[in-house]
Amino acid sequence: AWQALEASLDREEPSPVVLQGDETERWALYARAITYVLEAGRQAVLVAPDRETATALADYLADRTAGVLADAGRAATDAEQIALWRAARAGEIDVLVGARSALFAPLARLGLIVVEREEDPAHKHRSTPRYHVRACAEQLARLSGCAVVFGAETPSVESFYGVEAERYRFVLTHGAELMRQTRLKVGRGWGMTRPAGYVDVVDLRAAEVVGRYGIVARPLFTELRDTLDGGAGAVLYVNRRGTAALTICRACGHVITCPNCSASMVQHVGAQALVCHSCNARATPPRACPVCGGHWLRLWGYGAEAVAEAVAHLFPQRRVARVDSDVPHAEAAAAVHAFAADPAGRVLVGTQRLLAFGARIRARLLGIVQADIGLRFPDFLAPERVFVTLMRLRRLVTGGHAEGRTIVQTLMPAHPVVEALRLGSYLHFFRAEIAEREREGLPPFRPLARAVYAHADSAAAEREVRRAHRELQAVIASLALSGVGLLGPAPAILAKQRGEYRWQILLLGPDIERLFPLLQYGWTIDADPIELT
């Protein structure tokens, strides 16, 4: 792996490199690459998806590289940030590590850019200016004549397509290469970078469920029981907070929604409230349907709170803790610390927040309670988000456990994401996903921008977006932009947010930036969006 990476660093016009492998091996290669660049009298910048990862990476590199290393995340005050900026401009910093903004530090002798976990959505800046670190890093490397490395556990579809199109070079770490060779021998396809045990898929359409809320299927219950009785711990994942996803009237079908948004209110039994996860509005659960007055209100779906309650009811002698954004950070951190110190007989239930605690959530059993959450979302990027999250979770929890087990509960066992997770095969997912995007003419085959208009008056919002659509069509015709297409106008997936009605137009094709000046006051334009909500 180092020889391949070194060859890229030596090129006069180096191509971007996608470096795939386990975090430990990736970071070791970063250290060697930095040493190589510093010996040539140049500088390096490493961009991590969050401050916690940046600080951990900075601490790792400080003991393994020479030169002056700075952690941008530790510059907390304005004065410290200004001092860091001046030191960078004066050439006093050899290696800079930080989150997104570190990429824009004035390093005049830049020789290496590293984007750690390039597939992480945190690399996208969600507010103006809406930039993606990966795109900016590639452009900066081109302008500086330096190498850029995209480190990945599960490469993004766009990056791996760049590899297949021969725009990027692909390097596997030593361990990942050995794993790839082993998996190819048994026909599993390339994907996992180290042993992570076995995956069993449970079809919820046919499986028997036990306990409260119909959450735990018999195979997961049996595996949980055996794991806990065997003195080991388990992690259960469900990517939804609260107790129930919907409160629905069985008489008329009305769903309780947020008064400020179009999102459904989520039942939180612990807080005795309905909560909007979009704007945080809260309401007391109604006794009767506000539309028909009926008293047949039913809770539908479930979240982490319900899962924790159901598991505690099934295993009353075991210690069950919950980790999600409704739990205070100190309490969640204490629960994870206790689990890491002594996982025996413990069950950790959580949402995506579990990922923030890294390898401290390691266990013999991982249960994906409802793998379908997100897959039914009307957003072409949703399958990739789900796959990346579940693959990373599997690596963190059962990675290194040859006898570890992952139980995936799903209503869609044939979905490419579920099948790829079962196989541990990135290529299985990539082939299915890239074929679908090519059929639909979606990125990476055509550039995409999302234009959203929001207004407090529903009719005014619709009038403006339809007017803009007519103008865009006229300009496309007059400029003969034959490769440009429009999708919409249509209400956004979250059609009302914080009291404003939202409509959107999707712009596809080359030269779409020529249309941006037509969308001014009240419009928000997001080029290369990572979600379409």
**Residue 532: inside a domain:** no
Domain boundary among 417, 438, 459: 438
**Residue 91: inside a domain:** yes
pLDDT at 47: 98
Instruction: Spell 252-282 as b/e; 16+ CB within 10 A means b.
Output: eebebbbebbbbbbbbbeeeebbbbbbbebe
pLDDT at 180: 60
Say if residues 79 and 90 touch (Cβ distance below 8 Å): no
Q: Average model confidence (pLDDT) for the chain?
A: 88
Tens-digit pLDDT profile for residues 4-14 = 888 888 777 78
Same domain, residue pair 346 and 212? yes
Task: Name residues whose C-beta falls within 8 Å of residue 125's C-beta, 6 or more positions apart in sequence.
Answer: 100, 131, 132, 133
**Residue 443: inside a domain:** no
Same domain, residue pair 14 and 62? yes
Same domain, residue pair 434 and 493? no
**Residue 168: inside a domain:** yes
Residue with tokens 């579920």: 418
**Residue 277: inside a domain:** yes
Same domain, residue pair 360 and 261? no
Q: What is the CATH number of the domain that holds 511?
A: 3.30.70
Same domain, residue pair 28 and 137? yes
Tens-digit pLDDT profile for residues 53-89 = 999 999 999 999 988 999 998 888 899 999 999 999 9
Q: What size, in residues, is the chain?
A: 533
> Using alpha carbons only, what angle is made at residue 125 by residues 123 and 129, rounded to the nearest 5 degrees?
140
Q: Which domain holds residue 348?
A: 198-242+302-438
Domain boundary among 420, 438, 456: 438
Same domain, residue pair 161 and 231? no
Domain boundary among 298, 316, 341: 298
**What does pTM read for this prediction?**
0.87
Higher pLDDT, 280 or 62: 62
**Residue 250: inside a domain:** yes
**Residue 193: inside a domain:** no
- On the question of pLDDT at 298 being above 60, the answer is yes
- pLDDT band at 185, cuts 50/70/90? very low
Q: Where are the beta strands (DSSP E) in 30-181?
A: 43-47, 69-71, 95-98, 110-115, 147-152, 169-172
Say if residues 235 and 369 touch (Cβ distance below 8 Å): no
